[in-house]
Structure 1
Amino acid sequence: MINTLIGDIGHASVIVAFVAAIVSSYAYFMASRAKVQASGNNSWRSLARGSFYVHAAAVVMIIFALFNIIYEHRYEYYYAWSHSSNHLPVYYMISCFWEGQEGSFLLWIFWHVLLGIVLINGSKKNKEWEAPVMGIFSFVQLFLTSMILGVVIGDFKIGSSPFILMRDFMTDAPVFAMDPNFVPQDGTGLNPLLQNYWMVIHPPTLFLGFAATLVPFAFAMAGLWKGEFTKWVKPALPWALFAGVVLGIGTMMGAYWAYETLNFGGYWNWDPVENAVYIPWLVLVGAIHTMVAYRRGKSGLKASFILVIASFILILYATFLTRSGILGNASVHSFTDLGLSGQLFAYLAAFAVLAVALLIYNWKKIPTTDKELTTYSGEFWVFIGAAVLCLAGFQVLVTTSIPVYNSFLGFIGIESNAALPADQIAHYTKFQLWAGVAVALLSGIGQLLWWRKGEKGSFVDAIMLPGMLTLLFASLIIVLSKLGLFNETINNPVYITLLIASLFAVFANFSIILNLLHRKVALSGGAVAHIGIALMLIGILFSSGYSNIISENTSGMVYSREFPDEVNRDNVLLWRNTPVDMDKYTVSYHGQFQEVIGVPGYVNRELLFPTADEYKAIARGQIKEGDKVYFETGDTLDLLSPENVYYQVKYKEREGDKTFTLYPRAQVNPNMGLLASPDIQHFVDKDLYTHVSSVPDPNEEKDWGELKEYVVTAGDTIILNDYVAIFNGIERIENVPGVALKEGDVAVQADMKILGENKTYHAHPVLMIKDQMMGRLPEEVADLGLRLTFLNIDTENNKFTIGVNATQKDYIILKAMEKPFVNILWIGTIVMSIGFVMAIVRRNQDGSKKPVSDKSKKSRKAQAA
């Protein structure tokens, strides 16, 4: 009988969380009413707080229940079966938690809960904000919790429950008709591409960024709701900065995951799901700039409202894009449709309509400044920068949304077959590159004007030194490229423009930091963040614009007519143990390796005898690393991930002594084809990025040649497929890998020494008599493409028959490229994040005086009149 207790607890907790969110949002709404606040009655607020804490406790219980069914391998639940498996380590079980839509919604809900608790407990300084802000928070939680509610009323389904049983999800499966209590022995496992440590930390970080965008949105909505059109900016700004840095870090974590795990040779592919995160981040950064401008010069309040609201609505739009199934085959990252597209659209529409309606209703009431912004005003350039960021986001949004246009037109009866650009990278880069130039220039000019307070003379003085340093360094870099320091000469006018703009941003902002050191270093957070952005642009320029493929096919042969031209042109064929010259390296492939639990590094598969359990192997010889022996011959080993094979590739500089070994990973997945992940050799000035493009299919039986028999005696020498082999004799063995010998069974192994091109191989084919039947255990020498079988023993003449089959030697087709100065991109990300954190700290400490509300200002004016 299936035990459904944990699932019942989980589903009941979802219902409690949903109901508590309803009560909390309503109670906070009532607590926000003017009459209630004027009376000082806190009963509604107490009820709202209590309900939110009940909601928080229920969410924690849901998380416990869901992780329990994953961790305990409760495959009676569809979520556990479809996302996990028996042999996953705990850290990948955590990834299983948010691999599915329901789990990722739950992660999002959890972050909202934590942020809500922080806001409630931090509301002592701003008591008047708790009710309206948390009212928005609870209302959002209501919608999000409904996504995992899993309640069906007639033909109407609300949410998709992660606690649904297999038999209820797969009602048409014959196995459940025969046995309703059937439970699979193992799950389908985690997507191989997600079995990476970045997938353990990247999604939580990204979803924290998603969740954090709600805070400034809630303050903006509360300001519109309560008529506090100016006061909301101060408490919202640190949260906007927090959301900006977390969303930016989460996005770059995803970029590094792609760089380290996927094999398209980069960190950004302009995939619709990547774009769906990039767009709201750009708009949010624009909102931060306008909010900062308002805090300083009381200008840009309306722009701040628009951009803060837009950033959150774009997060909801991104959710709709990636989870409704509307992208179809347009994205490799998107989720399939769980039947929630209507709910997702309702979620998006509800807040979009509510926010836009409130904004329009209050538009004329939002204060504006009569102050004229001049060309030498820092605020003016801040608005120009925000406009550039929004235009950059808009260009990506328009193209990414093409599947949405098609779906909408189809819904109203108009057929549309508009397609995404064939070369999306070129399409987006064409515009985004110039946006990067504008951002770099504006981050330098705007910052100088910001701190020079719009004085023309002082600005000219301030710009001289950064400008001269920029021209000097840009000229030096271009000249060095012409002298051959880089892979290519820097002569593309667009790239030169981006280089100059980015260097100017670095030097201009660095000069600001030097000036602020004499005042207060905490004020320089913006300058530090802008330096980080400029460094990121420089890293992107070199690593993407001057990426150099060094594995070009110079053999004059086509590897396969079935391969794309790119594979035949940009890859090198490596036969096992056969060195090949590639650019300035001599490269050789030396076999297949696997990860063994308890052994550092990788273990040669020739030392691993497979068993019926694919996660276990038997050691053919000593397993050691250096001088330390980890396993002896005959020991049973546990394999970490048997489906993953690591291909040992050795590099040696032809003009020098430098050598290094890489282990690019690949697996041939029956459903997804070849899944290859690169290995990267990091240098100070570049990364050498290596991945396999093709390998022999391990699921196909090798095409062995005709069996040739050799009758030998001890000490005989024979020629096997052009290799010299010496038969040393036979010996009796007590243990045969994978075979249990009983009393009366006999096993002997031949001892063969084969002289290869670079090393000597020892083969031990086994002949045994078990249960009075003769059995043979061949030995394969993969490096040489040989399989040896101990066929027979002539005891009277002391002769032995050895059978030999030959096949094509093992090979890989490999792609290698150099990514110059890619480390500048990652360093820039860290610097940008430090700048954001400095700005957050400063804004939290900014101003101890309690601001006067808009209503109080009006009251004072009326009294004065």
Structure 2
Amino acid sequence: MSTAFQGEHLLPGQLGQFFIILSFGSALLSAISYYFATTDKTLQDNSWLKLGRIGYFVNTLSVIGIGVCLFYIIYNHLFEYHYAWAHSSRTLPVYYIISSYWEGQEGSFWLWCFWQGLLGNLLIWRAKSWEKPVMTIVALSQALLASMLIGVEIFGTRVGSSPFILLREAIPGPIFSRSDYMSFIKDGNGLNPLLQNYWMVIHPPTLFLGFASMVVPFAYAIAGLWQKRYQEWIQPAITYSLFAVMILGTGIIMGSFWAYESLNFGGFWAWDPVENASMIPWLTLIGAVHVLIVYKNTGHSYFTATFLVLISFVLVLYASFLTRSGILGETSVHAFTDLGMKWHLVIDVLIFLAITVGLLIARRKDMPITKKDEETYSREFWLFVGAIFLGLSCFHLILVTSIPVWNWIFGTKLAPPTEPVKHYNVIQASFAVVVTILTGFSQFLKYKKTDTAKFFISTGIYLFFSALIGFLIAYATGLYKLHFVFTLVMIGAVYSLLTNAKILSDAFKGKLKLAGSAVAHIGFGLILVGALIAAGTSKVVSENNSGIGFGDEFAKTSNPKENIMLYKNQPIKMGDYMVTYIGDSIAKPNHYFKVDYKKVDANGKVTEEFVLKPNSQANRKMGLVSSPDTKHYLFHDLYTHITMAPIKSDLDAAGDDEHTEEDDNKNYDAPVAHTVTVGDTIRFREGFMILKGLQKEAHVQNIPLKDKDVAVSAMLEIQSHGQTYKAQPIYMIKDGNVFDFSRKVDEAGLKLRFTKIVPEQNKFEITVYQQPESKKPYIVMRAINFPYINFFWSGTIIMVIGFLLSIFRRNQELSRTGSGKKVAYQKQHVEA
């Protein structure tokens, strides 16, 4: 006999699950239909093509339907659904509810499906003669993505994970045997505090658009091999590859913005395995773009270009396996947990890997092969070399990031590098030296053949000045002290900047087609310059020489020598600043700490002052979770982060309002009574106060006064640590009984009571409670100076602009050649 559960809203989930099944079925129908439309040449009525389109349109509508149902559930706090309960809460504002939408695996898979659905519709509109084979691959990918959301078990094997599973089905417990269990589910688990940042509203959609767009050049490459149209797919693939590289690169950099503004490791890149996983396919597709351009212009390196395009999408799927299978759970701080889909993800990778390998083998004899070697002094030769080094860089990332995979496959116990940041920095910097030099001197080369004398003179001059400038920068910033390879990268980055600036100046003189690559390379050079200086020479400003260690637990996660303790309203010298913790504000669930920074010259004049507001949450599961605040200057950033603070979670603080006045008095030293007249001064440990006067007929909320009742407030002006505060404690006689109402001045650590009136002496008793040092509000904070980090951020923007210019150029070329016609190629066979 089934139990009827009260308060559940089942319709949105049932409708959403229907859309999931429909999306999978329609995508599979579309893939099969497009396949037969491609292979069956006997039909003339295009019935398979029409069915393929209908299937894909239905898939797109069903994906949108899934999204609408899921958003309805989360937005309306329907916590009977596990996804809403696990990733959201009633306290989240709308923009963080959007973030909670894709915090979990299911929501991020939906996001991927959504973007891929839109791109498929774009291809139906624009692919023309390529539509059938290209959409076969895209629809197949869409079907496999949709299968990730089905959430059923077949023969004991889990197929997907549905976002519409009910809480009582996902979590065992006796409470769910009750028909009224919903009356006990007051709120959701909430969004991970680290994800409560505006970058997490836009970073995942951008990143997953990048992942989704990687399927398009892959589909064109497969279609070219499948249809034996070996040359025609190159031009559209370049355009879509540039788009994918631009979007995925932007998403990766957005992730570094998020890390810089939200995470607590003090930087913008930590070589976390999840970060590496997103970068792996990006590197190979950048290499692919360059080799595709080589082939388009010269006919060289067809196999390499094709292989890099194909493997890039396979690596996207492999990156998804790494981050979603739970295999990185012990090595990454933000990998997804295992939902029992490990083998499902493996099969997804193997299907597309099999298609790739199968077609490359089947067409190995037919693919264009260049018999004539490239000239050593030609651009295509060195672009090819650059792509090889990008591939080697990628191979190193795969090899080390995949250590948990090797252990899983072979039963080994290999350990990742003990100092991963140092390991990756040195090895990846070595690859960067070569790549930056190549992005520089290849600009002086021409396709086919270059005047060697002119080349050596031009590149030699630029290399000399680049070495001089690069070394001076490394010496001035102290970068040379870290590792010699970083100085070499700086020289290479400067060389790339100078040479591409020269090319850009030529572009303004009429060679506009060169502008895109030059601008992108300039942006890349600035990113490297900014990353090298900011990460390599960042300096901890909050040096702790007091000997205070903050306890053993603190030392496990933070370096006590890089953190200082600030008591409220007690200025401390920190580097060039006087810093003061001046107060708090709360915007649930965040607790903001106001830290005042002052610069004072030799004459005691304040030359600069600003307030930073880093925030923390006392999370029940994660402890203190903090997000920094940063003062941005033109040439550096001052970054402030809270590492310890005596704040409570909402659950711990729930009973605070029940405390009595007597309980509150325990938070203060023994009270001291002062008998004073108007104008007298009362001194206390951290300042003084003056009784400025009395105010008769004072009012206390919700206490009406009768004719014979008296209420008088003492008007006190408090001076503490250079700040002025006011307080008016109240003395009351009501119905013949004496009462007093205290007033707190938390900024000064005081509670004040007006406890007696001595009318014959015209004197008044003020009782002062002071917080002891041990209970005085404090914070422990870490401050870091990041020099020249704006080069990193501005380089990102410039690189994206470069990609956009290149996309416009390639799109114009594609339009000129005509989408439905075969592109005339320079030579069908290049003779030896």
CA–CA distance in 2 between the matches of 1:771 and 1:43?
94
1:802 aligned residue (767, 770, 788): 767
Which residue is 1:831 aligned to?
A: 798
Q: 1:150–1:546: structure 2 CA closer, same or farther, 3 Å change rule?
A: same
CA–CA distance in 1 between the matches of 2:413 and 2:286?
34
User: Are the equivalent residues in 1 in contact too, given 2:326–2:337 (CA < 8 A)?
Assistant: yes
- Farther off after superposition, 336-345 or 756-765: 756-765
Which residue is 2:596 aligned to?
A: 649
Matched, 1:50 2:54: yes
- Farther off after superposition, 716-725 or 49-58: 716-725
Match of 1:588, as an amino acid?
Answer: T
Matched, 1:579 2:571: yes
* 1:201 positional shift: 0.8
2:73 aligned residue (69, 72, 82): 69
Q: 1:181–1:87: structure 2 CA closer, same or farther, 3 Å change rule?
A: closer
* 1:501 positional shift: 1.1
* 1:653 positional shift: 4.5
Which residue is 2:746 aligned to?
A: 782
- Farther off after superposition, 313-322 or 793-802: 793-802
CA–CA distance in 2 between the matches of 1:130 and 1:524?
31
CA–CA distance in 1 between the matches of 2:670 and 2:53?
80
User: Are the equivalent residues in 1 in contact too, given 2:383–2:442 (CA < 8 A)?
Assistant: yes
* 1:549 positional shift: 1.7
- Farther off after superposition, 221-230 or 528-537: 221-230
Q: Gaps (5+ residues) in structure 2?
A: 1-6, 657-663
Q: 1:13–1:803: structure 2 CA closer, same or farther, 3 Å change rule?
A: same
User: Are the equivalent residues in 2 in contact too, given 1:753–1:761 (CA < 8 A)?
Assistant: yes
User: Are the equivalent residues in 2 in contact too, given 1:786–1:807 (CA < 8 A)?
Assistant: no
* 1:651 positional shift: 2.9
CA deviation profile, 1:187-214 (whole Å, cap 9, x unmatched): 2222222111111111100000000000
- Farther off after superposition, 655-664 or 687-696: 655-664
CA–CA distance in 2 between the matches of 1:548 and 1:357?
53
Which residue is 1:495 aligned to?
A: 486
* 1:184 positional shift: 2.8
Q: Secondary structure at the match of 1:841?
A: helix
User: Are the equivalent residues in 2 in contact too, given 1:448–1:459 (CA < 8 A)?
Assistant: yes
* 1:447 positional shift: 2.3
Matched, 1:334 2:338: no
Matched, 1:123 2:127: yes
* 1:118 positional shift: 0.4
Which residue is 2:659 aligned to?
A: none
CA RMSD of aligned residues (A): 3.1
Q: Gaps (5+ residues) in structure 1?
A: 595-639
1:555 aligned residue (537, 546, 563): 546
Match of 1:677, as an amino acid?
Answer: S
2:35 aligned residue (4, 29, 33): 29
- Farther off after superposition, 390-399 or 568-577: 568-577
* 1:258 positional shift: 0.7
* 1:89 positional shift: 2.1
* 1:836 positional shift: 1.0
CA deviation profile, 1:261-293 (whole Å, cap 9, x unmatched): 112121000111100001111111011111111
Which residue is 2:445 aligned to?
A: 449
Q: Secondary structure at the match of 1:190?
A: coil
Which residue is 1:704 aligned to?
A: 667
Q: Secondary structure at the match of 1:553?
A: coil
User: Are the equivalent residues in 2 in contact too, given 1:76–1:183 (CA < 8 A)?
Assistant: no
Q: 1:167–1:97: structure 2 CA closer, same or farther, 3 Å change rule?
A: same
* 1:553 positional shift: 1.6
* 1:721 positional shift: 3.6
- Farther off after superposition, 672-681 or 643-652: 643-652
CA–CA distance in 2 between the matches of 1:100 and 1:459?
54
CA deviation profile, 1:755-777 (whole Å, cap 9, x unmatched): 32312332345678999999876
User: Are the equivalent residues in 1 in contact too, given 2:218–2:309 (CA < 8 A)?
Assistant: yes
Match of 2:565, as an amino acid?
Answer: L
Matched, 1:683 2:683: no
User: Are the equivalent residues in 1 in contact too, given 2:729–2:752 (CA < 8 A)?
Assistant: yes
CA deviation profile, 1:222-241 (whole Å, cap 9, x unmatched): 22222222322122110001
Matched, 1:661 2:611: yes
* 1:522 positional shift: 2.8
Which residue is 1:103 aligned to?
A: 107
Q: Secondary structure at the match of 2:610?
A: strand
Q: Secondary structure at the match of 1:329?
A: coil
- Farther off after superposition, 7-16 or 445-454: 445-454
CA–CA distance in 2 between the matches of 1:446 and 1:133?
34
CA–CA distance in 2 between the matches of 1:164 and 1:71?
17
* 1:845 positional shift: 1.4
Which residue is 2:661 aligned to?
A: none
CA deviation profile, 1:788-839 (whole Å, cap 9, x unmatched): 4566789999865736252223222222222111111111111111111111
User: Are the equivalent residues in 2 in contact too, given 1:523–1:842 (CA < 8 A)?
Assistant: no
Which residue is 1:545 aligned to?
A: 536
Match of 1:569, as an amino acid?
Answer: K
Correspondences of 1:244-393 after superposition (within 5 Å): 244-393=245-394
Matched, 1:813 2:780: yes
Which residue is 2:502 aligned to?
A: 511
Q: 1:352–1:764: structure 2 CA closer, same or farther, 3 Å change rule?
A: farther
Q: Secondary structure at the match of 2:643?
A: strand
Q: 1:101–1:295: structure 2 CA closer, same or farther, 3 Å change rule?
A: same
Which residue is 1:93 aligned to?
A: 97
CA–CA distance in 2 between the matches of 1:15 and 1:557?
60
Match of 1:18, as an amino acid?
Answer: F
Which residue is 2:3 aligned to?
A: none
- Farther off after superposition, 458-467 or 701-710: 701-710
Q: 1:146–1:795: structure 2 CA closer, same or farther, 3 Å change rule?
A: farther
Q: Secondary structure at the match of 1:137?
A: helix
Q: Secondary structure at the match of 1:228?
A: coil
* 1:751 positional shift: 4.3
CA–CA distance in 2 between the matches of 1:471 and 1:211?
41
Q: 1:586–1:76: structure 2 CA closer, same or farther, 3 Å change rule?
A: same
2:525 aligned residue (530, 534, 558): 534
Match of 2:433, as an amino acid?
Answer: V
Q: 1:559–1:6: structure 2 CA closer, same or farther, 3 Å change rule?
A: closer
Match of 2:65, as an amino acid?
Answer: M
Correspondences of 1:377-416 after superposition (within 5 Å): 377-409=378-410, 414=411, 416=412
* 1:380 positional shift: 1.0
Match of 2:18, as an amino acid?
Answer: A
User: Are the equivalent residues in 2 in contact too, given 1:721–1:806 (CA < 8 A)?
Assistant: no
CA–CA distance in 2 between the matches of 1:746 and 1:167?
60
- Farther off after superposition, 335-344 or 649-658: 649-658
